[in-house]
Chains A and B, each alone.
Chain A
Amino acid sequence: MSVFICGRRQHFVRVNIAGMNSSDGQPLLQVRDLQKLFPIRKGFWRRTVGYVRAVDGVSFDIYEGETLGLVGESGCGKTTTARCILRAIEPTRGQILFRTESSESADMLQLSPSELRGLRREMQMIFQDPFTSLNPRMTLLDIVGEPLLVHGMKNRREREARVAELLRLVGLRSEYMRRFPHAFSGGERQRIGIARALALHPRLVIADEPVSALDVSVQAQILNLLYDLQAALRLTYLFVAHDLSVVKHISNRVAVMYVGRMAELATTDDLFTSPKHPYTAALLSAVPEPDPRLRSQRIVLQGEVANPAAPPSGCYFHPRCAHAVEICRTETPSWQEVAPGHLVSCHRAHELQLSGVEQLNSTIINEARRDLPVPDTFGA
């Protein structure tokens, strides 16, 4: 079995490298006009009186081997989007096209349950909270081995060998296999969750806030692990997070969501240095930089995130936007490409001069910290 899997992997790597060389290659995942409405029911008859527009017309592509960061504030629909892709929750409408290994494009929403189960091997999820996402009554062997069992690896010895291999892959000792999750720290538990996600050789890994519950010193370990695994296994990540510094560290491209809609999508450097959407600019300036000499003039947004059950007219961001004009109040901005690969939904994207994060500062910081110990010595 493992030989077969190895063979599959090599074949897959070859396909991947070919795909990576041509940047205009087909995307691995295409999300088109995804919508998820949660009904609000009231009264004795539980009549539907309205909808929470959790995800409202979201479109993006994920290319093979890349990391797409999905950021936004709580309630913006980023987790719902991630779960819709896996069909962990059923989207209201839209298309989720996944390119299978035979280069066919399968619409996740049209698949029968058995076809879906087959495809789910290829996309796995890493959860936010390592304390609640692992069953406390199962050993590591059971937790990491369960997906193998479900997908047909019935031989216990084979399964043990594969679990041991996976645990070593994520930096845990294989002897720990028979222990229970409570014996591990938060960072180690997150490694277990990663091992479980990788058990079936997925091609797409959806990581929903994988480091936000971890201590700062451990967060870096897990980010590095995800980074190394991606390089070693040619994984594609959809990285959902609210922390922009974390997203910057791991992503090739970043998508920003606001109240169920896409605000902006661009390569990481473009998005951080020259944001085109006022919301992105405000988000960037709100991040407190760990440097007391850079106490910045922040854009402090007024008001609150719009209610997705009763969103404002036009552009959902207009009540908090410093640049809003009349058209923003009345018309929904279209999702337009303002520069190659840089998509924005803002009426004024072409005229606004927004400031992002200055890359320049990084050299200043490095200058100032030159005499500190070499970072390599801190390797995990």
Chain B
Amino acid sequence: MLVSQKPLLSVRNLKTYFPQDEGTVKAVDGASFDLYQGRTLGIVGESGCGKSITARSILRIIDRPGRIVEGEILFRRRKTLDGVGTDEVIDLTKLDPNGQDMRAIRGAEIALVFQEPMSSFSPVHTIGEQIIEAIRLHQHMSRRQARQKAIEMLRLVGIPLPEQRVDQLSNQLSGGLRQRAMIAMALSCHPTLLIADEPTTALDVTTQAQILDLMRQLQREYGMAIMLITHDLGVIAEMTDTVVVMYLGRVVEQASVDEIFYNPKHPYTQALLRSIPRIHSNSRERLASISGAVPHPYNRPSGCPFHPRCVAFMPGLCDQKEPQLQAMGEQHLVSCFLY
């Protein structure tokens, strides 16, 4: 990783809470990480770990009653209006979610690819209309130009016969094509950061391979940063440069992809890696599993959130105090009392 390069996006101690009648759900509870241009950051974790809420916090599209209670999301913007590329850093948490600045960033500079290509397109507008709307919202173009641009984007993401597809409704497209169209829409304004929230979870393996290939190829061409959110460690290993492992709203470990897979420090990361079935391992083998299940967010364990399931649980310490992220060698952060 180029340490000298300034991060494109820097999330600092982000806390997003959902106050409810039954108690506060701490969906994200102190997440910190950096994203660099042209790099892919993976966020991995099980359901309820706060990975999607982190993405939504960055885009400021959290559903009520959730809100960011603490932390900073520093986004580096390019200002090329005067011809010279000067950078400005703005804190997205300070912006009004519905204000002009945030709306100018959302979709144009930070784009999101949703998990479910089935439900994230409007069923009553054609694919083209939706992409044209996105383009014209952020760029000064006539309808005709925007339509040309939409067709061009659809062709770029490998949709056959884009001139015909542009006038089709989303239900006329297969899952793979819909996800391609989604990516086309996300990239139509050339974002500097693409957030992909489980982009291939709803797809078959062969289609997944196509989409991952496409994302890599587009990243090479446009040099955008990708934040890839997934629960699939295979996709993480295949795609990312840096990995953030989350558990119950907290970052438990952060390191380069090689470190995470070959030198994992946190007991949760280690257990997770052991529990996944691998296609290269022997058939008919018992898997090492993690005992218990992810706790319900209302019954969040005290201290380290992983301690009830942890093999290295130290009574009196892990259930009392919350571990903090600390450096373990270069670019490797762990939040565990073992170290």
Contact = CB atoms under 8 A, between A and B. Distances in A.
Interface of A: 73-74, 185-188, 215-221, 223-224, 227, 242-246, 248-252, 268-269, 272, 282-295, 298, 300-301, 304-305, 357-359, 361-362, 365, 368-369, 372-373, 375-380
Interface centre among A216, A289, A300, A372, by most chain B C-beta atoms within 10 angstroms, is: A216
B294 interface: yes
A185 B293 contact: yes
Contacts of B236: 290
Given A286-B208, A300-B210, A220 B291 contact: no
Interface stretch (B103-111, B131-139, B141-149, B277-285): B277-285
A378 B311 contact: yes
Interface string B258-285: 1001101001001111111111111111
A186 B293 contact: yes
Given A220-B276, A288-B234, A244 B291 contact: no
Contacts of A305: 174, 204, 206
Interface string B183-198: 0000000000000000
For chain B, give the interface size range.
Answer: 35 or more
Interface in B154-183: 174-177
Given A301-B210, A373-B270, A376-B288, A216 B275 contact: yes
B231 A215 contact: yes
B120 interface: no
Given A73-B206, A287-B205, A295-B237, A215 B288 contact: no
Interface centre among B258, B280, B284, by most chain A C-beta atoms within 10 angstroms, is: B280
Contact of A283 (B205, B231, B278, B282): B205
B64 interface: no
A180 B164 CA distance: 50
Contact of A216 (B204, B238, B272, B309): B272
Nearest to B312: A373
A242 B237 contact: no
Contact of B234 (A219, A224, A248, A289): A289
A220 B277 contact: yes
Given A248-B277, A289-B278, A268 B291 contact: no
Contact of A288 (B212, B264, B283, B296): B212
A287 B279 contact: yes
A248 B258 CA distance: 25
B213 interface: yes
Contacts of B267: 373
B289 interface: yes
B46 interface: yes
Contacts of A369: 262, 273
17 contacts: A73-B204, A220-B275, A245-B234, A248-B281, A283-B205, A288-B234, A289-B279, A290-B233, A291-B261, A292-B261, A293-B258, A305-B206, A358-B280, A365-B278, A375-B288, A378-B271, A378-B274
Contacts of A379: 288-289, 291
A186 B231 CA distance: 16
Nearest to B200: A288
A250 B205 CA distance: 19
Given A187-B293, A304-B177, A379-B291, A268 B283 contact: yes
Contacts of B46: 215-217
B232 A220 contact: no
B291 A380 contact: yes
B279 A375 contact: no
B289 A220 contact: yes
A375 B274 contact: yes
A362 B206 contact: no
A300 B206 CA distance: 7
Contacts of A368: 262
A362 B205 contact: no
B278 A298 contact: no
B293 A188 contact: yes
A297 B278 CA distance: 17
Contacts of B270: 372-373
Nearest to A301: B206
B9 interface: no
A377 B284 CA distance: 20
Nearest to A298: B209
Given A244-B205, A291-B237, A304-B174, A216 B276 contact: yes
A237 B7 CA distance: 51
B90 interface: no
Given A248-B277, A292-B257, A373-B270, A378 B235 contact: no
Given A74-B204, A216-B276, A292 B237 contact: yes
Nearest to B232: A288
Contacts of A217: 46, 271-272, 275, 289-290, 293-294, 309
Contact of A248 (B47, B175, B264, B279): B279
B287 A268 contact: no
Contact of A249 (B206, B237, B261, B285): B285
Contacts of B140: none
A72 B290 CA distance: 28
A246 B205 CA distance: 13
B260 to A, nearest CB: 8
A248 to B, nearest CB: 5
A210 to B, nearest CB: 13
B291 A289 contact: no
B208 A288 contact: yes
Given A221-B289, A304-B177, 17 more contacts: A186-B47, A216-B46, A221-B290, A223-B287, A243-B277, A248-B283, A249-B277, A249-B281, A249-B283, A291-B261, A292-B258, A292-B262, A295-B237, A298-B213, A359-B280, A372-B273, A378-B274
A374 to B, nearest CB: 9
A242 B175 CA distance: 16
Given A248-B277, A377-B311, A290 B237 contact: yes
